[in-house]
Amino acid sequence: MNKMFYFLLATVPCWYACSGSEKKEAKEIEVEAPAEAHEPAAHKMIFNIPSPSEQFEIISSLDGVKNTALVNSPDKAKTYATEVSKALNFGVYIADVAYLTSYRETSKYMTYFGELEKLGTDIGVAQVFGKELSDAAKKSGGNPDSLFRLSDRTYTKSFQRLIDIEKGKELSLMLVGGWVESMHLILGSSKGFGKSPKIDEVLTDQKLLAENLMEFLLDYQDDAAVAVYIGKVGKILAAYDQMDCTESDTQVSKSGNKVSLTGGNSCKMNKKTFDALKKEVSAVRNEITK
């Protein structure tokens, strides 16, 4: 039987309800999944890398500030000349569209879809990703809620299809660009450490997402460009080592049909980590979008 790894993002509902900045790190749970005769073992998906719109739908409801000047201008798309820069900025622009959509900046986000389709064509993923995102934008009729639903479905189902057509390298770089831009926008939306405590919680949760992204990238580490960005994501991850963390025994409790896990590694954002993240993310993001 093949083993697929599912990660519980148990902290996500807490983004709405928790008032502090302490966070319990989700545990990795290994689940036996039935093997598919036609599915090679290498075709595994990491389901815990959420789409940018899933991230920003939450963030727009929290205690940050909207700043549309943070996004990368679609006019810069034509300046990206290499396949690597095009793949990275394809991911950047997906995150930017999600950010603008979450704040219902319709006139701004609609200008991105033509550039996404062009970049997708250049890196050979338009048939899977670029055109479908463009079609989703047209079908949404400018309705942000409709676009969220359509683009999320497109984003999720496109992962495996890109691997199937041997575009794992491009997908890896797209995911890096999307996650780095998401971090840039989250940090830029904060009023500052301690002034947006719910955003501080979201930043704490991003450590788990970065670890999951890193696991995905390692499948394509033989590619030189992916290897470079493994190092860069690793530097951002290293900034999290400065968080205030405590370890406690994991407790399992059951109420009716609901099972809850508590304990484990509990971490809290601090100013040193916040500042380090801002520095490292800014350096990588500036290099990607220059």
pLDDT number for residue 120:
87
Spatial neighbors of 185 by CB under 8 A, at least 6 apart, are 56, 59, 70, 71, 95, 96, 99
Query: What are the DSSP calls for 10-79, one per residue?
Result: TTTTHHHH--SSEEEPPPEEEEE-PPPTT--TT----TTS--HHHHHHHHTTSS----GGGSPPGGGGGG
C-beta of residue 106 within 8 angstroms of C-beta of residue 142:
yes
Structural domain count of the chain: 1
> pLDDT (tens digit, 0 to 9) for every residue of the chain, 290 residues total?
222 222 222 222 232 233 334 444 433 333 333 344 333 333 344 445 556 666 666 767 778 899 999 999 999 999 999 999 999 999 999 889 888 888 888 778 778 888 888 998 898 887 666 556 666 666 655 565 655 555 556 566 667 778 788 888 999 999 999 999 999 999 999 999 999 999 999 999 999 989 999 999 999 999 999 999 999 999 999 999 999 888 766 677 777 777 766 656 688 999 999 999 999 999 999 999 99
The alpha carbon of residue 220 and the mean position of all alpha carbons in its chain are separated, in whole angstroms, by 18
Q: pLDDT at position 135, please?
A: 66
Q: How far is 27 from 243, CA to CA, in rounded Å?
A: 18
Token readout for 88 is: 């990275």
Euclidean distance between CA atoms 97 and 153, whole angstroms:
15
3-class secondary-structure state, position 290: coil
Distance CA 49, CA 147 (A): 19
HSE, side-chain direction, 13 A CA sphere, residue 172: 24
The pLDDT of residue 98: 84
DSSP 110: G
- Owning domain of residue 39: 3-289
In the block, which residue shows the tokens 């009729």? 141
> Using CA atoms, how far apart are residues 166 and 186, in angstroms rounded to an integer?
32
125 three-class SS:
coil
- In the numeric block, which tokens belong to residue 159? 């992962």
